[in-house]
Amino acid sequence: MKATRSDLFARFDRLGISHTTHEHRPFFTVEEGLDIKANLPGGHTKNLFLKDKKGALLLISALGDTVIRINRLHKLLGCARLSFGNETLLYETLGVRPGSVTAFSLINDTENRVRFVLDAALMQHSRVNFHPLSNDATTTISSQDLLRFTLDTGHGSQLVDFSSLLDTE
């Protein structure tokens, strides 16, 4: 059974994680939500669900304007070549649908199948914003509480500087 928004917030409360949620129209891309994000303080995110050629699963949580070159990312992460995971696999492992991918969905990966990769630029913000398991709201927590939450779900986080992928060819 997949966690609900209420389950997520109960987990935050149990961990003593302060959280604020802003309800809004659903949006599926970073660009679609720019007007909403303009009024919410903190680092705004984009989240990618990826699968490598050997079947390893990754969740990337990055600052919304971070450029991530997926064709080079495997070298930085030490894995096989990457592509986007399909909707069925996304729901099976993280319990969310496309457009709602979020670091908070790690609550549903109870088998720890997903490797969590976190953008170093995002962690420069004291507050970070993610969808609370659906794309019709945004929840803000502290960046340090994000790390506490991911550890509580049984996931570590690999901090990555994505700017190293931007060197010119």
Q: What is the pLDDT of residues 95-133, one digit of tens each?
A: 999 999 999 999 999 999 999 999 999 999 999 999 999
How many domains are there within the chain? 1
Per-residue pLDDT tens for 154-164? Answer: 999 999 998 87
99 located within any domain? yes
46 located within any domain? yes
Task: Print the domain residue range for 136.
Answer: 5-18+42-160
Per-residue pLDDT tens for 64-92? Answer: 989 999 999 999 999 999 999 999 999 99
From residue 14, how far is each of 8, 98, 124, 148, 152 by CA, in Å? Answer: 10, 28, 26, 12, 11
The pLDDT value recorded for residue 167 is 62
Supply the DSSP string of 34-82, one letter for each residue.
HHHHTTS-SEEEEEEEEEETTS-EEEEEEETT----HHHHHHHHTSS-E
The pLDDT value recorded for residue 169 is 46
CATH number, domain of 111, equals: 3.90.960.10
